[in-house]
Structure 1
Amino acid sequence: MHSGCPRRAGGSARWRSASRRWPPHSPRARRCAMRPEWSYAQLQARADALAARLAAAGARGRVALLLGHDRAMVAGLLGTLRAGCAYVPLDPYAPRARQEQLLADAGATAIVTDTLRLAAAPWLDASGLPLVLADAQDGPALPPPPMPADPAAPAYLLFTSGTTGRPQPVEQAQGNVLGLVGTWASQLGITPDDRLALFSGYGYDAAVQDLFGALLNGAAVHCLDLRGSLSAPELVDRVAEQGVTILHCTPTVYRWLFGGRVTCDQDLSRVRLVVLGGEEARRSDLDLFKLRFRRGARFVNGLGLTECTTVLQYFADHDTRVLGEKLPVGLPVPGVEVRVIDDGWQGEVEIASPWLAHGCGPRYRSGDRLRRLPDGQWQFAGRTDRQLKLRGIRVEPGEVEAALAQDTSIREAAVIATELDGEELLAAYVVPAAAFDEAATRRWLRKRLPEYMVPGLFIPLAELPRRANGKLDAAALPAPGRPAVAAAVPARNEIERRLLELWAGVLGRADFGVHDDFFALGGHSLLATRLIARVRDAFALELPLLALFEAPTIAGMAQALERTAARPPDPALPALRRRSGRSGA
């Protein structure tokens, strides 16, 4: 990296040193966060002010963030570090029970939120923790706290799905973040002329790469919200309009954004790097890159993990030829040593890096399996355990099974990943204690788990198949199939009729009624975003994604639309505003 600050400094000091390189009125000043833009100086001022408010509130140790995907989030994150605290990101779409569990497990001493999130989560007032608003515009001017400078101090605590039935915390030190981000920036050649698209939510390590990869190198970062109201074509419009040069996302998001059409009217000529990670990439992803991006741009695939963000990287271009359907994940990045334990050519990977997360030791066995290709590159070869990647997000089936075990209507359960109609999803095999009520089980899980961990399929069984040693015989589980919808209730008015058509277009099926659950019908978060975009265009109303999570039926969505048309927006939800715009999803 090129921030000009000694490596022994902490992350906040490195950022402050980088921000000083771009004076407020320089041509590159307005380059840190878009819509509307903030200069580095403006962002630094917001972060300093928030750090002062945190210090005045007595915050120390870990501070929880409950924020959106916008510039207030960036200021909240940097302000927390500036206050000498580690940030703990909370998903605003997660159920209250999940958020409260993470707050308790993290030992948070304060919560940074904004006006919108506070209105949507009034229970925060009863948490007993100081609340600091990241979007506050007034208040007394307070001196910022002393600049933290300890590279061993924690930077963040991220929670991933856990094997024990509870979320697994991963804590990373500021010095390690600087080392990882420095390698990332060096590998990609990030300069002040770059503009990075931030698709990843702030609760994932990919956001650390993009945010700090940009901000510590004088580049711009553009927050593009996958769970907002924009359709896929509109998000690609933003990529083109804002001159994004580095596009980093999961393969699932990449296919959703660019796989719908082989030609487009957006100018993507400024994109010089397309970087994929988080889940397995295919040869067809490289083929799509060759169709959609200019010759001279480069394609990057890789393998990383929350405990060590970047481990392997593979670079390709328009002339690269790949044999087989899987793409390589490449070679170890500088500073990281990769060893395959079994025979040196194929087996479980052991990682040695000075930047491993707290508690991993000098060498870490990740559970990933690798296979060495004839040219020396590595290829992902599965897992040694049950861990899954679902649309780029780590899921431990044991955590979902533990939540099901707390439901008194379920005697036992087993959760696996499966593919149905081209979509990867979780399938839960359940042994009910009495008659199985799928809707009630879904409601139970939605109150405890984030949406991506709620199984898309439930298959009731009289008993789970077992081997002679009593362990689950996963191979003997019946093949899952999409259950037929019984007694579908037809549309009762024009709004429900139009919604039925929109749902059918997104889900690729029409055998359902107004009381059937979107997610039980095969929906997931990206399809939900597509549906919301189409509903918005059909009704000229901007319905928040949260509304679908809270009432995932046509009847519930129709009621939300009727309320929106009849009265001002509900202040407890993101704004429902009338609008018109281009269609497409």
Structure 2
Amino acid sequence: ERFVELNGMRWYRTGDRGRYWPDGTLEFLGRQDHQVKVRGHRIELGEIESALAGLPEIARAVAVTVGMPPQLAAAIQLKQGVNTTEHDIKQLLQQLLPDYMVPTSLVIYQALPLNANGKVDRKTIISELATHTTNVVDKEPPRDELERQLAELWQEVLKCPALSRYDDFFLSGGDSLTATQIIQLLHKRHITSELIPLRALFTAPTVASLSDYIKQQWQTHSSIAINESTLFEEGTL
């Protein structure tokens, strides 16, 4: 499987993907076995790693999936003398990648762990990130009626235990199909003033954040209705 014969020569398949440019440049595109599916999206982990490595603060980065349902996580090694936080890095990354490709958890290492061959030890990183506790959500119950409605709707669709206001829809078992179902039900049950875009649930994936989004939508809707009511004087139509 790994050692193959071609034109009388023996070659070794590394498992890497690449392509030659017309000028002879060989471009590295990532590992063949580093394509994953998260939240219903097919994701190339190499694209996340390239985006992270392109940030001026970062020396090396490794993207992995952890948990079930799988969520994205990344281990980061900063350049010498750089002082930044996981939150700052995530904000920069959100400008480069779609929301569904931004790792839920980012962990800064002094030096990434290496295996006996001197390569980045992905198994160790996956094990450590899986037990990383900085991303544990607060189990605060819903605060108001809207948050309670959202939590109960998610529980109904996802067939999961009671949710807190900071539980993530996708980490609770949601995907793009159930997200579409949620959006339809929100409108059908008059919880939203109109159909919200699918991306709203990706950018506001918790009960608390989606509640804030919906409240803002209702405020905008009410403001438009008030403005339209002042376009004509009473009795002119």
Residue 450 of structure 1: aligned partner = 98
Residue 427 of structure 1: aligned partner = 73
Query: For residues 469 and 553 of structure 1, do their structure 2 counterparts lie closer, same or farther at Cα, with a shift above 3 Å needed?
Result: same
Give the letter aligned to residue 549 of structure 1: F
Say which of 107, 124, 133 aligns to 1:476: 124
Determine helix, strand or coil for the equivalent of 2:212. Answer: helix
1:166-565 matched pairs, under 5 angstroms: 342=4, 385-390=32-37, 395-407=43-55, 412-418=60-66, 420-421=67-68, 423-431=69-77, 436-438=85-87, 440-468=88-116, 470-479=118-127, 480-481=130-131, 483=133, 485-505=136-156, 506=158, 508=160, 510=162, 512-514=164-166, 518=169, 524-541=175-192, 542-565=195-218
Give the letter aligned to residue 342 of structure 1: V
Give the letter aligned to residue 562 of structure 1: K
Query: For residues 459 and 507 of structure 1, do their structure 2 counterparts lie closer, same or farther at Cα, with a shift above 3 Å needed?
Result: farther
**In structure 1, C-alpha distance between the alignment counterparts of 2:43 and 2:70, rounded to whole Å:** 13
**In structure 1, C-alpha distance between the alignment counterparts of 2:46 and 2:90, rounded to whole Å:** 17
Deviation, 1:397, is 2.3
Deviation readout 1:303-325 (Å, 9 max, x if unpaired): xxxxxxxxxxxxxxxxxxxxxxx
Deviation, 1:491, is 2.5
Query: Structure 1 stretches of 5 or more lacking a match?
Result: 1-339, 349-358, 361-366, 368-382, 572-585
Determine helix, strand or coil for the equivalent of 2:202. Answer: helix
Deviation, 1:434, is 5.3
**In structure 2, C-alpha distance between the alignment counterparts of 1:415 and 1:389, rounded to whole Å:** 11
Query: Does the 8 Å CA contact 1:428/1:455 hold for their aligned counterparts?
Result: yes
Give the letter aligned to residue 559 of structure 1: D
The list of structure 1 runs, each at least 4 consecutive aligned residues, that deviate by more than 6 angstroms after superposition, is none
CA RMSD of aligned residues (A): 4.4
Higher percent of residues as helix: 2
Query: Does the 8 Å CA contact 1:386/1:396 hold for their aligned counterparts?
Result: no
Give the letter aligned to residue 186 of structure 2: V
**In structure 1, C-alpha distance between the alignment counterparts of 2:179 and 2:61, rounded to whole Å:** 27
Deviation, 1:546, is 2.6
Query: For residues 434 and 507 of structure 1, do their structure 2 counterparts lie closer, same or farther at Cα, with a shift above 3 Å needed?
Result: farther
**In structure 2, C-alpha distance between the alignment counterparts of 1:435 and 1:529, rounded to whole Å:** 37
Query: Does the 8 Å CA contact 2:151/2:163 hold for their aligned counterparts?
Result: no
**In structure 1, C-alpha distance between the alignment counterparts of 2:149 and 2:179, rounded to whole Å:** 16
**In structure 2, C-alpha distance between the alignment counterparts of 1:524 and 1:444, rounded to whole Å:** 25
**In structure 2, C-alpha distance between the alignment counterparts of 1:477 and 1:563, rounded to whole Å:** 40
Query: Does the 8 Å CA contact 1:456/1:522 hold for their aligned counterparts?
Result: no
Deviation, 1:544, is 1.8
**In structure 1, C-alpha distance between the alignment counterparts of 2:178 and 2:90, rounded to whole Å:** 18
With the length of structure 2 as denominator, give the TM-score of the two structures: 0.58
Aligned residues: 196
Determine helix, strand or coil for the equivalent of 2:72. Answer: strand
Determine helix, strand or coil for the equivalent of 1:477. Answer: helix
Query: Does the 8 Å CA contact 2:73/2:104 hold for their aligned counterparts?
Result: yes
Query: For residues 564 and 436 of structure 1, do their structure 2 counterparts lie closer, same or farther at Cα, with a shift above 3 Å needed?
Result: closer
Deviation, 1:416, is 2.4
Residue 296 of structure 1: aligned partner = none
Deviation, 1:398, is 2.7
Deviation, 1:473, is 1.8
Deviation, 1:341, is 7.8
Query: Does the 8 Å CA contact 1:452/1:524 hold for their aligned counterparts?
Result: no
**In structure 1, C-alpha distance between the alignment counterparts of 2:146 and 2:48, rounded to whole Å:** 35
**In structure 1, C-alpha distance between the alignment counterparts of 2:105 and 2:160, rounded to whole Å:** 16
Determine helix, strand or coil for the equivalent of 1:427. Answer: strand
With the length of structure 1 as denominator, give the TM-score of the two structures: 0.28
**In structure 2, C-alpha distance between the alignment counterparts of 1:507 and 1:446, rounded to whole Å:** 30
Residue 231 of structure 1: aligned partner = none
Query: For residues 511 and 408 of structure 1, do their structure 2 counterparts lie closer, same or farther at Cα, with a shift above 3 Å needed?
Result: farther
Deviation, 1:495, is 0.5
Give the letter aligned to residue 75 of structure 2: Y
Query: For residues 394 and 511 of structure 1, do their structure 2 counterparts lie closer, same or farther at Cα, with a shift above 3 Å needed?
Result: closer
**In structure 2, C-alpha distance between the alignment counterparts of 1:409 and 1:498, rounded to whole Å:** 42
**In structure 2, C-alpha distance between the alignment counterparts of 1:465 and 1:511, rounded to whole Å:** 36
**In structure 2, C-alpha distance between the alignment counterparts of 1:517 and 1:442, rounded to whole Å:** 17
Give the letter aligned to residue 430 of structure 1: I
Query: Does the 8 Å CA contact 1:456/1:519 hold for their aligned counterparts?
Result: no
**In structure 1, C-alpha distance between the alignment counterparts of 2:191 and 2:163, rounded to whole Å:** 27
Give the letter aligned to residue 455 of structure 1: P
Residue 17 of structure 2: aligned partner = none
Give the letter aligned to residue 37 of structure 2: L
Determine helix, strand or coil for the equivalent of 1:416. Answer: strand
Give the letter aligned to residue 535 of structure 1: L
**In structure 2, C-alpha distance between the alignment counterparts of 1:498 and 1:567, rounded to whole Å:** 21
**In structure 2, C-alpha distance between the alignment counterparts of 1:490 and 1:451, rounded to whole Å:** 26
1:97-112 matched pairs, under 5 angstroms: none
Deviation, 1:415, is 1.0
Give the letter aligned to residue 142 of structure 2: A
Determine helix, strand or coil for the equivalent of 1:485. Answer: coil
Percent of aligned positions with the same letter in both sequences?
Answer: 30
Deviation, 1:498, is 1.6
Residue 227 of structure 2: aligned partner = none
